[in-house]
Amino acid sequence: MAAVAHDWRTAALAPREAALCGFAEKLTLAPSTMAATDIEELRKHALDDRAIHDATQVIAYFNYINRIADALHVDLEPEMTPVPRAEA
C-alpha cells in the first residue's frame, strides 16, 4: 500500500489495478480530458459497466470530500500522515 501511495506507477500492481490507478489519476487531475477511450481501456481489463461506474463514484467522492476538507482547512486525524504533494 505504501508503494501505491508513493507512486502507483512503480508499485507492483496487476495490469487491472494499474489501469484503475491511471483512470483515477486522470479523473482527479484532468477531468475535462476524460474520453470514451478511458472507459475502453478499463474494459480491456475485464471491468464491466457496473465496475466502471462504481470506481468512478468512489474516485469522484474522494475528490469531492478532499476538496471540501482542503477548502475548510480540516485537520488530518492524528493517525494520518500527509502525502507530500508534487510541486506544480
The three three-digit cell numbers of residue 32, written as one number: 475535462
Radius of gyration of the CA atoms of the chain, in A: 14
pLDDT of 82: 67
Single-letter residue type at 72: L
pLDDT of 88: 47
| pLDDT digit string (tens) for the chain, length 88 residues | 777 877 888 889 999 999 999 999 999 999 999 999 999 999 999 999 999 999 999 999 999 999 999 899 888 787 777 666 655 4
Q: Distance between CA atoms of 8 and 57, rounded to whole angstroms?
A: 20
Q: Parse the chain into domains and list their residue ranges.
A: 14-71
The CATH H-level (homologous superfamily) assignment of domain 14-71 is: AhpD-like (1.20.1290.10)
Q: Distance between CA atoms of 44 and 54, rounded to whole angstroms?
A: 17
pLDDT of 24: 97
pLDDT of 76: 77
